[in-house]
């Protein structure tokens, strides 16, 4: 009998849906992933894939497939997975609306001076000399135009923005006015008023935004990172913020998480910090379950093709 281990907080009624649809499968639930021995029993592991201990996959006996309920796979032990020829799938795409909204939350807060006006409200002031900006007519550069990047581009058009994009293939997509391959990243940095980082973390993208990249950015541009902290050189980002090379940043991800209480980014007036929540939205687990239901049906019953298969060699 195929055994599926859930290390995600699946609800009872959701588990019952799986059991009714797949009576030939034994479902094991360990919501907080506290019993490592259960993984030895599993053929399929459903997990968020965060902070996985080295050697854990290597020691498994039956594991054939990891279904991660996140999009990034950079926390998974790629070498162990590749060596054991384990299939990996994710839920890439379900976050696109929420993450695009988060990007515009940062950008609108910056443009419309929300922090300044909030301070006024708290202090009982009324100062109309603070002049809000507008996204209208500005240029947004999206670094990594996948499902999330395309949704950001679509929403940017509602604000009458010019959209630039970077993707590996350089192939254009709808809502992007100019698309570059990775070799054209410098052009995007030089032209963009708002720069949004949404590349996956791989060996090629680690610290892709270094001091040289920030030096190329348009004076006074605004930077958003909803990808991974490690795609940005934090010291270079701090330099750009302190020297006013960029006007500010909206940051959801960091090299070190949780971000230390004494980290200098916490004390910068031109930075908005959120605790890696850009992809969270009501009904997240239900949306992730739909992808797993589809893939489990395809895997067990040859009913259609599996979706969201990850190439662990590439890292996405």
Rg for the chain, CA atoms, rounded = 22
Residue spans of the domains in the chain: they are 2-94+282-301, 96-273
Using one digit for the tens of pLDDT, what is the confidence trace for 249-278? 999 999 999 999 999 999 999 999 999 999
Using one digit for the tens of pLDDT, what is the confidence trace for 193-250? 999 999 999 999 999 999 999 999 999 999 999 999 999 999 999 999 999 999 999 9
Task: Report the distance separating Cα 265 and Cα 223, nearest Å.
Answer: 13
What mean pLDDT value characterizes the chain? 96
Which of helix, strand or coil describes residue 131? coil
* Res 51: pLDDT: 67
**Which pTM does this prediction carry?**
0.94
Q: List own/partner pairs for 291-297 with CB under 8 A and 24 or more apart.
A: 291/89, 291/91, 291/94, 292/46, 292/67, 292/69, 293/17, 293/18, 293/21, 295/67, 295/89, 296/4, 296/18, 296/22, 296/25, 296/44, 297/21, 297/22
In this prediction, residues 124-147 reach a mean pLDDT of 97
List Cβ neighbours of 300 (8 Å cut-off, separation of 6 or more): 2, 22, 24, 25
* Res 313: pLDDT: 95
Using one digit for the tens of pLDDT, what is the confidence trace for 281-292? 999 999 999 999
Using one digit for the tens of pLDDT, what is the confidence trace for 9-48? 999 999 999 999 999 999 999 998 889 899 999 999 999 9
* Res 36: pLDDT: 86
Q: Is residue 126 over pLDDT 70?
A: yes
- Report yes or no: 67 and 44 within 8 Å, Cβ to Cβ: yes
Helical (H) or strand (E) element with 239:
helix 234-242
Q: Which tops the pLDDT comparison, 53 or 266? A: 266
Q: Percentage of the chain surpassing pLDDT 70?
A: 100
Q: In what order do the strands lie in the sheet with 194-197?
A: 178-180, 162-166, 139-143, 194-197, 221-225, 246-251, 271-273
Query: Quick one: fold of 2-94+282-301?
Result: Rossmann fold (3.40.50)
Query: Quick one: fold of 96-273?
Result: Rossmann fold (3.40.50)
Under the banding of pLDDT at 50, 70 and 90, the label for residue 52 is confident
Write out the catalytic residue numbers.
228, 257, 276
User: In CATH terms, are 2-94+282-301 and 96-273 the same topology?
Assistant: yes
In this prediction, residues 146-152 reach a mean pLDDT of 97
Under the banding of pLDDT at 50, 70 and 90, the label for residue 315 is very high
């Amino acid at each position: 009998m195929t055994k599926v281990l859930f290390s995600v907080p699946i609800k009872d009624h959701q588990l019952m849906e799986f059991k009714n649809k797949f009576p030939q499968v034994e479902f094991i639930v360990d919501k907080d992933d506290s019993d490592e021995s259960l993984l030895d029993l599993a053929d399929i592991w459903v997990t968020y894939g965060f902070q996985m201990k080295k050697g854990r996959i290597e020691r498994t006996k039956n594991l054939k497939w990891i279904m991660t309920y996140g999009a990034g796979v950079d926390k998974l032990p790629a070498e162990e997975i590749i060596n054991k020829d384990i299939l990996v799938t994710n839920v890439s795409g379900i976050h696109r609306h929420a993450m695009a909204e988060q990007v515009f939350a940062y950008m609108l807060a910056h443009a419309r001076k929300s922090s300044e006006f909030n301070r006024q409200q708290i202090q009982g002031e009324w100062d109309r000399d603070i002049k809000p900006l507008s996204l209208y007519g500005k240029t947004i550069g999206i670094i990594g135009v996948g499902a999330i990047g395309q949704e950001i581009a679509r929403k940017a058009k509602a604000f009458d923005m010019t959209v630039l994009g970077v993707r590996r293939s350089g192939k254009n997509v709808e809502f992007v006015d100019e698309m570059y391959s990775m070799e054209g990243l410098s052009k995007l940095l030089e032209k963009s008023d708002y720069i949004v980082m949404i590349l996956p973390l791989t060996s090629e993208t680690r610290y892709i935004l270094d001091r040289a990249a920030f030096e190329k950015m348009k004076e006074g541009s605004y930077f958003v990172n909803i990808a991974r902290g490690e795609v940005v050189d934090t010291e270079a980002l701090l330099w750009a913020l302190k020297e006013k090379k960029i006007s500010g940043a909206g940051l959801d991800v960091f090299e070190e998480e949780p971000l230390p209480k004494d980290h200098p980014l916490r004390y910068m007036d031109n930075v908005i910090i959120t605790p890696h929540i850009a992809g969270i939205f009501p009904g997240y687990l239900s949306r992730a379950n739909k992808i797993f239901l589809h893939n489990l049906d395809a895997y067990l019953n040859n009913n259609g093709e599996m979706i969201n298969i990850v190439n662990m060699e590439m890292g996405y």
